[in-house]
C-alpha cells in the first residue's frame, strides 16, 4: 500500500518564483470524485499519469500513481468533461525538502497553494517565507473539490 503524507498551505507572496528550480504546466482531470476515492488523470509536459487516492485522514491517505502513455492520458482527459484544472507547478527546494507550489489558472486564477510531502505524519518542517495559513484539514482546498469552486471563492 502506498501512503501520501502531505500538508497544504496558502501562499503569501510570489517569492517562490525566484526560489524555484523549475516549473511545469499541469492539466488535471477527474474521472471520479466521490468521498471514498478520487481517480484523476494528469498531463505534465510530455508525460501522463493515472492516480487513485483514498480517503484523507488528517494529512495521510492511500495513493497509487502510474505513468501511462500520453495518448491514453489525452483520451482519458476528454472523458473528464468540465472536471479539469489548469495550473503551473513550481518546485522549491528548501532545507532538504521539496515544496510544490501550484498557481491555478482559469476560474481559480489568483489561488496559490503550496504542498509538502512528508516521511511521517508528525515530521517537523521549516517554512519558507512565502508560506501562509495551513489548509491541510480544509476539504475546500482538495484539488478534486476545487473543480466545483465558482469565481475562485477561496482566494
Whether 49 is catalytic: no
Strand duo 131-134 + 60-68: pairing? unpaired
Q: Which of 16, 30, 141, 142 is catalytic?
A: 30
Hey, how many other C-beta atoms are within 10 angstroms of the C-beta on 24? Answer: 12
Q: Please give the positions annotated as active site.
A: 30
Amino acid at each position: 500500500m502506498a501512503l501520501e503524507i502531505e500538508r497544504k498551505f496558502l501562499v503569501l507572496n510570489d517569492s517562490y518564483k525566484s526560489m524555484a528550480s523549475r516549473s511545469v504546466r499541469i492539466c488535471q482531470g477527474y474521472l471520479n470524485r466521490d468521498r471514498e476515492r478520487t481517480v484523476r488523470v494528469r498531463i505534465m509536459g510530455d508525460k501522463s499519469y493515472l492516480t487513485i487516492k483514498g480517503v484523507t485522514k488528517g494529512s495521510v491517505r492511500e495513493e497509487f500513481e502510474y505513468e501511462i502513455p500520453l495518448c491514453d492520458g489525452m483520451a482519458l482527459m476528454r472523458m473528464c468533461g468540465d472536471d479539469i484544472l489548469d495550473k503551473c507547478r513550481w518546485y522549491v527546494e528548501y532545507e532538504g525538502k521539496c515544496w510544490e507550489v501550484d498557481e491555478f489558472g482559469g476560474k481559480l486564477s489568483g489561488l496559490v497553494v503550496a504542498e509538502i510531502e512528508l516521511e511521517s505524519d508528525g515530521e517537523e518542517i521549516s517554512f519558507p517565507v512565502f508560506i501562509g495559513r495551513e489548509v491541510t484539514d480544509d476539504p475546500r482546498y482538495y484539488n478534486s473539490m476545487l473543480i466545483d469552486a465558482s469565481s475562485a471563492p477561496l482566494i
